[in-house]
Amino acid sequence: MKIKLFKSFAISFATMMLLSGCGGQKSAEKTVESSSTKASTSDVTSGASEQKYTDPKEMKDEYDIIIVGAGGAGMSAALQAKEEGKNPVILEKMPVAGGNTLKASSGMNASETKFQKEAGITDSNDKFYEETLKGGHNTNDKELLRYYVDNSASAIDWLDSMGIKLNNLTITGGMSEKRTHRPEDGSAVGEYLVHGLLNNIHEKEIPIFVNADVTEILEKDSVVDGVKVTVEGKEKEVHGKAVVVTTGGYGANPEMLEKEKPELKGYVTTNQEGSTGDGIRMIEKLGGQTVDMDQIQIHPTVQQDKGILIGEAVRGEGAILVNQDGKRFTNEMGTRDNVSAAITALPDKSAYLIFDAGVKERVKAINFYEKQGFVKSADSIEALAKEIDMDGKTLDTTVQDWNKAVEAKSDTEFSRETGMDNALNKGPYYAIKIAPGIHYTMGGVKINDKTEVLNKDNKPITGLYAAGEVTGGLHGSNRIGGNSVGDIIVFGRQAGEQSAKFVK
């Protein structure tokens, strides 16, 4: 894509994602336009008005470790490699850092954390492992899953040590405990996480280049030793002793999606424009193995006009789903594949999230949905029903029945067991129309628990590492909400550590 298109996209993308930036960088960096939305969570996002990236003229011919992709996994890898005493660089093809991480809403799943203990929540890595395995229909890569759950708590601590505090707990579908960690004020985890990681990238003076499109991974004597990158319209080679690929999935590549699942043609996607599977294709050219490429997750609650995901935390904090008749039709906290199937089976193939002011107070992301014009509101349930062309008495009865179930802690109708801490009884009341959309690609390149990329003989490709949605296997055939953020941090750190050891 041409540089002008990138610059144009930067402004609209950054605004839509509520991207606020970090200041105070050196003169070798240039400004990329963004909005100046502030968050009250902590100093991670406060007082910043513009994001800065390293000037392309400063790009060297060689670094210790080249990281391709500036999402959560890439930035985590860079920070960990820097901690190990190495000199990493981040190359990002889009005009802003963050990737799909910016769009993450609900939180980061982790077990046996200090924040769970502070909240009196008894959890275990084994329970987390078993519930994730069940959610993935027992098809998960068990080696990767074991590493993930056993290192999830330390990842929360690592973020906290850098001023990125995720101490507000909620729950997502398929989980039995509150292990979804959010910013303190309940805001969306993605922008907060990206801002915090970028602050640390800048503080540690790690070069990060945007509009830097990596097109090929280079090898010399069967050892990966660099990349070809196009920047400011010119192609150049950048060499390194190791390469870490964190380019994300292919959820915004219709051709790849339809090749794997023709039935998904025409589905809206929640993915950012850069999620086109570049890393997967480059690694395949090197002989890398892929797994689970036909496993593509449909998220049940997506606003269709703009392809914006309505985070699972809305249901986790008490919202219900109703059909056009104003009746519940499924366990809202079931796994994503089951809830999506239930919505698709409805005559209209769409449904409404119904919630109250209490849910809105606990899930700050709703403020963003409201600004986008997705949210209908009214002072009473019957008035809300009129706003969405629904029978008022039926919807009111549905909400009253739900409130009784919450009080009794027993949902006899659909056996929902979580997200039942609060009744829907605090006006105003709200509704968002949703339907399923393409959300996440579980498939990708095959790695081991050291994040080494494996070839078709299951042997590591020397000097090549990968982390995040570009990889496959961890989530099996269905990803649990909140596990992707855990994935990028846990395995991003591992990629940084292991690539640094290889360089040594």
List, for residues 389-436, the tens digit of each pLDDT value. 999 999 999 999 999 999 999 999 999 999 999 999 999 999 999 999
Task: Give the angle subtended at the CA of 392 by the CAs of 388 and 397, to the nearest 5°.
Answer: 125
* Confidence at residue 22, expressed as pLDDT on a 0 to 100 scale: 32
* Confidence at residue 36, expressed as pLDDT on a 0 to 100 scale: 28
* Confidence at residue 268, expressed as pLDDT on a 0 to 100 scale: 95
User: Is the model's pLDDT at 7 over the cut of 90?
Assistant: no
Average pLDDT, the chain: 90
Q: Which domains does the chain have, with CATH numbers?
A: 56-295+442-503 (3.50.50.60), 300-438 (3.90.700.10)
Count of residues in the chain = 504
User: Is the model's pLDDT at 87 over the cut of 90?
Assistant: yes
Please give the share of the chain, as a percent, with pLDDT higher than 70: 90
What distance in Å separates the CA atoms of residue 150 and residue 352, rounded to the nearest whole number? 37
User: Is the model's pLDDT at 56 over the cut of 90?
Assistant: yes
pLDDT per residue over 207-235, tens digit each?
999 999 999 999 999 999 999 999 999 99
* Confidence at residue 186, expressed as pLDDT on a 0 to 100 scale: 87
Structure-block tokens of residue 322: 């109703």
Range with the poorest average pLDDT among 46-50, 159-163, 179-183 = 46-50
DSSP assignment of 214-273 equals: EEEEEEETTEEEEEEEEETTEEEEEEEEEEEE----STT-HHHHHHH-GGGTT--B-S-T
**What is the number of alpha carbons within 13 Å of residue 204 lying toward its C-beta?**
24
* Confidence at residue 34, expressed as pLDDT on a 0 to 100 scale: 32
pLDDT per residue over 233-291, tens digit each?
999 999 999 999 999 999 999 999 999 999 999 899 999 999 999 999 999 999 999 99
Give me the active site residues, please.
336
What distance in Å separates the CA atoms of residue 222 and residue 476, rounded to the nearest whole number? 31
* Confidence at residue 48, expressed as pLDDT on a 0 to 100 scale: 26
What is the rounded average pLDDT of the residues 380-384?
Answer: 98
DSSP assignment of 431-444 equals: EEEEEEEEEEE--E
* Confidence at residue 486, expressed as pLDDT on a 0 to 100 scale: 98
Please give the share of the chain, as a percent, with pLDDT higher than 90: 88
Backbone angles phi, psi at 380, to 5 degrees: -135, 165
Task: Give the angle subtended at the CA of 299 by the CAs of 186 and 432, to the nearest 5°.
Answer: 60
By the 8 A CB rule, do 193 and 207 touch?
A: no
**What is the number of alpha carbons within 13 Å of residue 257 lying toward its C-beta?**
24
Locate tokens 């959890």: which residue?
Answer: 123
What is the rounded average pLDDT of the residues 333-355?
Answer: 96
CA distances, 96 to each of 14, 23, 101, 208, 212 (Å): 7, 15, 12, 10, 11
* Confidence at residue 266, expressed as pLDDT on a 0 to 100 scale: 87
What counts of helices (H) and strands (E) characterise the chain? 15, 21
pLDDT per residue over 112-149, tens digit each?
999 999 999 999 999 999 999 999 999 999 999 999 99
